[in-house]
Amino acid sequence: MQDKAMQDKAMQDKAMQDKDMHYKGKAHCYGRDIDTDVIIPARYLNTSDPQELAKHCLEGLDPTFVAHVRTGDILVAAENFGCGSSREHAPLAIQAAGIDAIIAKSFARIFYRNAINIGLPIMECPEAVDAIADGDVVRIDTDAGTITNETTNETFDVQPFPLFIREIIEAGGLINRTKKRLEAKQGANVETELTHANNIAANNIAANNTAANNTTNAAPATATPTPTNASATPAPTRTHRICLIPGDGIGPEIIAEACKVLGAIALKHSCRFSYTKALLGGVAIDECGDPLPFETLKIAKESDAVLLGAVGGPKWDTTDSQKLRPEQGLLGIRKAFDLYANVRPIQVFPSLYDASPIKSERLEGVDILMIRELTGGLYFGARKRISEENDEQTTCRAFDTLEYREHEIERILRFAFETASRRSQRLHSVDKANILETSRLWRETALRLAAEYPQVTLTNMLVDNAAMQLLKDPCQFDVIVTENMFGDILSDEASMLTGSLGMLASASLGASVALFEPAHGSAPDLAGTNTANPLAQILSAELMLRYRLNMHNAADDIARAVAEVLDQGWRTADIATPTTPSEKLVTTKQMGDLVSNVILLPLT
């Protein structure tokens, strides 16, 4: 054993000096569907020490594996290698046992990612696998894109690694690559960013431990993943100042996951996010006696964008109009910065069709943009409760005023026409013109503006009909524009198309400050349980990148990452169905880890 240790050390030292991405070693051949529980049984997951894991690598399949593997050897397998649970321990155990590379007919997608994350080269080549026998000497030349069986003198073509993956492997893993990139940037805070990346990798081990046998996640055997802009030169570091308002209930928990995802974006896109926390809602009432402190307005005004969690809760619920309510803070910040345009994408992910109460055939192709006027209407009109004496009885009378000025209507409708002209050129304007005078003014203004946008097909629809049509035939809609209260109700209704209100993000836009928040409430019953769905908050961060910070590629990365995580079957409780496997149920933090991981190494 001492001779083997000395031999391994010498070969490791040589490997550290070898940067040409060539690998040569004896083949150890195995069959198909070797899952991660076979690679490293669950009973050994009380440690993440690679050397301890290596002692038990493949022991259930081949008890002699560790004894006869030598550093530099190559593992060869058939289809679907690394299927089952997505634990990172599996590639760690293989690498620590001495295996330098893996060749298989196909890999489970998450195993592929986890292996690349730690710098373990893996390649798909069915033809080579069929031609390699146990004990053959195999040479891999990643520069030339070849796999050669030197025992039989046969050579097979394989697609070379993309630059992004090559850099990770050459650096010895994603963390090392990140450190090198940050060290190369002037003024980069290497330790802070590296710690974040390291936390993502460490958290993934904990998150992946919850998953178990799923043999349908093999990566396509013919595709080599290439990340977006993989060969682009990193741009100079830019700092984006974000006013962070966690708020009440689940707000702090879900906003932490959005920041985690933005940390992954910062690593990949060579930028920084600087956060200044501020108070709003119930927590602001408790600490400052004001649901919207002046300091919050000051911080928001000096920031590039505002990222908000949620406000409200039973602690502050009251019917007493003289008492402060958390929602006053939310309405106040909208009015203070004239955030008149609220944008809520209603996008249905195909993998969540079964989570929606609507029939799947009605959901295909649904991609609605709900535009809601946000600073007028009933929510901002005069309101009052009056006591009246009547026949020696005291009764109450209350009123709320629905009021709109023409310029308020025109600017939101113009925003909607402009947006529709950049999409499918279809616009539905929703009102109640058969009853309300404000709606008649709304419809008249819509018809007047339609003449300026002849390319856009305008359809005026009454709100009660719109509510029915959203469920009956949602695909008829592309852009919907409506007033404040109608928009509040219709967007919540439309969230059921997506499967959960926990999937609905929103952007509130104005002339200067922009605010981004999930459309759901504070869910106080879930606060502190680590079970809330953070995807609406994460997708709100995506909207922040897209609508405010002009980081469209980064926003696309978040959108793709969320879609991929859902396609893989991961679910928080609100979007799970009776058929969702228990091992695919994840916590708030685990969902944030999964999305972050896909962003850092986006494989398709």
- From residue 541, alpha-carbon distances to 73, 76, 102, 547 in Å are 44, 42, 37, 10
- Burial code (b: 16+ CB inside 10 Å, e: under 16) for 39-52 equals bbbeeebeeeebee
Question: Is the CA virtual torsion 78, 82, 85, 90 positive or negative?
Answer: positive
Question: Token pair of 47, please?
Answer: 């440690």
560 CB neighbour count, 10 Å cutoff: 16
Task: Return the structure tokens found at 92.
Answer: 């760690």
387: enclosing H helix or E strand: strand 383-390
> Own/partner pairs for 387-396, CB < 8 Å, 24+ apart?
none
Residue pair 482/506 in contact (Cβ under 8 Å)? The answer is no
Exposure string over 94-116, b if 16+ CB within 10 A, otherwise e: bbbbbbbbbbbbbbbbbbbbbbb
Contact 108, 219 (CB under 8 A): yes
Contact 483, 429 (CB under 8 A): no
- How many CB atoms neighbour CB 135 within 10 A? 11
Nearest to 322 by CA among 383, 380, 378, 377: 383
Enumerate the active-site residues: 379, 432, 464, 488, 492
Give the list of residues 6+ apart from residue 555 with CB closer than 8 angstroms, or none.
542, 543, 545, 546
Judged by phi (left if over 0) then psi (alpha if -120 to 50, else beta), residue 247 lies in: left
Rounded Cα distance between 126 and 131, Å, is 9
Would you state the torsion angle of the CA atoms of residues 526, 531, 534, 535, taken in this order, to the nearest 10 degrees?
-120
Name the residue type at position 370: M
| Contact of 253 with 592, CB cutoff 8 Å | no
Q: What is the DSSP letter of 229?
A: T
| DSSP letter (8 states) at residue 526 | T
Listed residue (557, 574, 576) closest to 229, CA to CA: 557
User: Dihedral (C-alpha) 263, 269, 274, 277: value to the nearest 10 degrees?
Assistant: -50
Q: What's the token pair of residue 351? A: 């993998």
DSSP calls for 331-383: HHHHHHTT--EEEEEEE--GGGGGGSSS-GGGTTT-EEEEEEE-SSGGGGS-E
* C-alpha span between 166 and 237 (Å, rounded): 23
Give Cα 99 to chain centroid, integer Å. Answer: 33
CB atoms within 10 A of CB 76: 26
Helix (H) or strand (E) holding 24: strand 22-29
The answer to whether 81 touches 104, Cβ cutoff 8 Å, is yes
Q: Are 163 and 231 in contact (CB under 8 A)?
A: yes
